[in-house]
């Protein structure tokens, strides 16, 4: 497959990126690892007359951990996430999720920034970042601004990032309690039929807070506040899990595709959420 | 738009310079421009891993990288690992343990496996299957591929110990 012609740029800094975006507007797109964009360009489903490769732009490949939180540069790859012991010890859900993304070759190239910025409902990091209440940093001609992950996604491939802005970092508060990232997929490299990200805090045998987000069950990731709330104050017994599952099913809106009809997706979403809650609770 | 550009890529230790459009995919550069036909085109959709090469220490599917992205980089293909007279231990092990039938996926398998063993010199069967999950084989059922990689790992570790 041969993509349409494009002009290729490899600027050395963000100022260079922004000036190309300014000049060409939505005819230009930035690319990190390219493992979402290049397949779409090959299929000619994405038309990118001006392609801006971010690989030479420095300052976006670090993971910084402090008491205030974790700052992950946009160019940090899934492989970097898996390989980072310090990160895995403070936020093990990140490694657990990254290990379930695509395959080894894709994880060397695929980045956290690309995964969250692309707006593909099938990507795993958006739901995960909503569960963790992350904040995305974007930069444009007028400087930086912060957008909460829970307010970033508007529709499939539509986000709160403007065309002339670049997502540069993801900041995650240090997660507390037990965690699980559970994903059902048809094969290695497939997107989720359903996936769930869960963080639960337990005190004295009962749940004091729970955060739940679902992937690929709507045209955007779904942070289900009601599902989390259904667990708070309970001992996360079967009745509480059922209530959380019902609440989650009220928030998602899956469509039929080659991964199955709506009823099947809702069934799988319930199964996956139950597994994720039980595993997170057992680790809390 | 997309005018031809000068590119320079080091492939298997040899610097290659040529003129082409940025949209050319690295797998076509290797196979059709440089005549390095070890990396194969299987699916052309980033799934099968037959086109796997090593770039700056990463296993990469050469069908999912534009030549422009690879400009200035170091690329290793199966040709750079060993030849008929000096087989890489993985090549020997694939031969001895029937790690291939038709052989189409094999260059990608072996290239990926070199990187896997570099990161994890003594992998379990599960770790091999997980680490090789980006490479698809439609002949062998994977059992002999796993065996070959285990045998190569043992051979390489023994050679390393002997050297120390």
For residue B64, list chain A residues with Cβ-Cβ distance below 8 A. Answer: 34-35, 38-39, 109
> What residue of B is the nearest CA neighbor of A188?
B133
User: How many CA atoms are closer than 13 Å to the CA of B127, on its beta-carbon side?
Assistant: 13
Residues B95 and B117 in one domain: yes
Residues B65 and B94 in one domain: no
- pLDDT given for residue A271 in this prediction: 98
Residues B102 and B61 in one domain: no
Can you give the CATH number for the domain in which A162 is found?
A: 3.30.465.10
For A44, counting Cβ atoms within 10 Å of its Cβ (0-12 exposed, 13-18 middle, 19+ buried), the class is exposed
A34/B134 Cβ within 8 A:
no
The whole-number average pLDDT for the span B70-97 is: 97
| Type and span of the H or E element at A283 | helix A262-283
> Is residue B66 a part of any domain in this protein?
yes
Residues A209 and A132 in one domain: no
**Domain of residue A11, residue span:** 7-53
Q: How many domains does chain A have?
A: 3
Can you give the CATH number for the domain in which A194 is found?
A: 3.30.390.50
Residues B68 and B37 in one domain: yes
- pLDDT given for residue A1 in this prediction: 87
User: How close, in Å, is residue B90 to chain A by CA atoms?
Assistant: 19
> Is residue A127 a part of any domain in this protein?
yes
A42/B133 Cβ within 8 A:
no
**Domain of residue B49, residue span:** 5-80
> Is residue A117 a part of any domain in this protein?
yes
> Is residue A2 a part of any domain in this protein?
no
Under a CB-based contact definition with an 8 Å cutoff, are residues A125 and A113 in contact?
no
> What is the pTM (predicted TM-score) of this model?
0.96
Asked whether residue B1 carries a pLDDT value surpassing 90, the answer given is no
DSSP string, A19-80: HHHHHHGGGEEEESS-TTHHHHHHTTSS--SEEEE-TT--S-S-EEEETTEEEEETT-BHHH
A274 Cβ partners below 8 Å, 6+ apart? A241, A245
Residues A102 and A79 in one domain: yes
Question: β-strands A63-66, A69-73: how paired?
Answer: antiparallel
- pLDDT given for residue A251 in this prediction: 98
> Is residue A232 a part of any domain in this protein?
yes
> Is residue A265 a part of any domain in this protein?
yes
* Residue A155 to residue A158: CA distance in whole angstroms: 5
Residues B137 and B104 in one domain: yes
Residues B76 and B9 in one domain: yes
Residues B69 and B95 in one domain: no
A2/B23 Cβ within 8 A:
yes
Residues B143 and B96 in one domain: yes
At A170, is the secondary structure helix, strand, or coil?
strand
Residues (pLDDT < 70) of chain A are none
Beta strand extents in A177-284 (DSSP E only): 178-185, 192-203, 206-215, 222-223
> Is residue B164 a part of any domain in this protein?
no
Q: What is the ipTM of this complex?
A: 0.96
> Is residue B137 a part of any domain in this protein?
yes
Q: Which of residues 72-111 of B touch A (CB under 8 A)?
A: none
Q: Choose one of B25, B55, B80: the last residue of a domain.
A: B80
* Residue A251 to residue A260: CA distance in whole angstroms: 19
Can you give the CATH number for the domain in which B73 is found?
A: 3.10.20.30
Residues B134 and B100 in one domain: yes
Q: What is the pLDDT of residues A161-195, one digit of tens each?
A: 999 999 999 999 999 999 999 999 999 999 999 99
> Is residue B134 a part of any domain in this protein?
yes
Angle between helix axes B89-96 and B106-119 (nearest 10 degrees) is 120
A3/B134 Cβ within 8 A:
no
The residues facing A153 across adjacent strands are A159
First and final C-alpha spacing in chain A: 48
Q: What phi and psi, each to the nearest 5 degrees, are found at residue B132?
A: -105, 15
> Is residue A235 a part of any domain in this protein?
yes
| Tokens 């120390």 sit on residue | B164
Q: How many domains does chain B have?
A: 2
Q: Which residues of A touch B (CB under 8 A)?
A: 1-8, 10, 34-35, 38-39, 42, 49, 51, 53, 55, 79, 102-106, 108-109, 188-189
- pLDDT given for residue B56 in this prediction: 93
Question: β-strands B5-11, B14-20: how paired?
Answer: antiparallel
How much of chain B, in percent, has pLDDT values that exceed 70? 99
Residues B30 and B73 in one domain: yes
**In whole angstroms, what separates CA A79 from the centre of its chain?**
15
**In whole angstroms, what separates CA A183 from the centre of its chain?**
13
**Closest partner CB to A104 (pick from B46, B71, B131):** B131
Angle between helix axes B106-119 and B143-163 (nearest 10 degrees) is 50
Q: What is the pLDDT of residues B21-54, one digit of tens each?
A: 999 999 999 999 999 999 999 999 999 999 999 9
Residues A206 and A243 in one domain: yes
> Is residue A29 a part of any domain in this protein?
yes
Can you give the CATH number for the domain in which A29 is found?
A: 3.30.43.10
> Is residue B68 a part of any domain in this protein?
yes
Residues B73 and B135 in one domain: no
> Is residue A39 a part of any domain in this protein?
yes
A5/B1 Cβ within 8 A:
yes
| Tokens 């020997």 sit on residue | B92
At B113, is the secondary structure helix, strand, or coil?
helix
- pLDDT given for residue B2 in this prediction: 75
Under a CB-based contact definition with an 8 Å cutoff, are residues A172 and A208 in contact?
no
> What residue of B is the nearest CA neighbor of A42?
B45
Question: β-strands A166-172, A135-140: how paired?
Answer: antiparallel
- pLDDT given for residue B164 in this prediction: 87
Q: What is the pLDDT of residues B104-151, one digit of tens each?
A: 999 999 999 999 999 999 999 999 999 999 999 999 889 999 999 999
């Amino acid at each position: 497959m041969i993509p349409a012609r494009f002009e290729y740029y490899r600027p050395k800094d963000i100022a260079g990126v922004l000036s190309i975006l300014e000049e060409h507007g939505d005819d230009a797109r930035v690319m990190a690892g390219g493992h979402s964009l290049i397949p779409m360009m090959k299929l000619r489903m994405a038309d990118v007359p001006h392609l801006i490769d971010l690989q030479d732009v420095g300052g976006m490949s670090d993971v910084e951990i402090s008491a205030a939180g974790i700052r992950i540069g946009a160019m940090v790859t899934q492989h970097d996430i898996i390989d980072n012991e310090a990160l895995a010890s403070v936020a093990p859900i990140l490694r657990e999720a990254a290990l379930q993304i695509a395959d080894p070759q894709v994880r060397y190239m695929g980045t956290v920034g690309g995964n969250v910025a692309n707006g593909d409902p099938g990507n795993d990091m958006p739901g995960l970042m909503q569960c963790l209440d992350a904040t995305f940093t974007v930069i444009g001609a007028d400087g930086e601004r912060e957008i909460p992950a829970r307010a970033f996604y508007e529709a499939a491939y539509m986000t709160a990032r403007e065309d002339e802005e670049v997502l540069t970092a993801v900041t995650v508060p240090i997660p507390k309690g037990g965690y699980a990232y559970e994903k059902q997929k048809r094969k290695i490299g497939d997107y989720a039929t359903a996936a769930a990200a869960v963080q639960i805090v337990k005190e004295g045998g009962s749940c004091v807070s729970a955060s739940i987000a679902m992937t690929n069950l709507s045209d955007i990731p779904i942070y289900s506040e009601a599902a989390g709330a259904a667990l708070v104050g309970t001992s996360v017994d079967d009745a509480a899990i059922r209530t959380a599952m019902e609440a989650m099913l009220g928030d998602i809106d899956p469509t039929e595709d080659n991964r199955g009809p709506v009823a099947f997706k809702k069934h799988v979403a319930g199964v996956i959420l139950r597994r994720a809650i039980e595993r997170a609770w057992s680790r809390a | 738009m997309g005018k031809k550009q000068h590119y320079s890529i080091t492939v298997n230790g040899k610097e290659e310079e040529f003129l082409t459009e940025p949209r050319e995919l690295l797998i076509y550069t290797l196979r059709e421009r440089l005549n390095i036909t070890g990396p194969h085109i299987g699916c052309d959709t980033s799934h099968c891993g037959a086109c796997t090469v090593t770039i700056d220490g990463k296993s990469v599917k050469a069908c999912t990288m534009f030549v422009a992205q690879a400009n200035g980089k170091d690329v290793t293909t199966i040709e750079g690992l060993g030849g008929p007279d000096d087989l890489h231990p993985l090549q020997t092990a694939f031969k001895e343990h029937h790690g291939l039938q038709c052989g189409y996926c094999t260059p990608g398998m072996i290239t990926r496996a070199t990187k896997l063993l570099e990161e994890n010199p003594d992998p379990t069967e599960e770790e091999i299957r997980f680490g090789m999950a980006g490479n698809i084989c439609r002949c062998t059922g994977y059992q002999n591929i796993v065996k070959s990689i285990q045998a190569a790992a043992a051979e390489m570790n023994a050679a390393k110990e002997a050297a120390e």
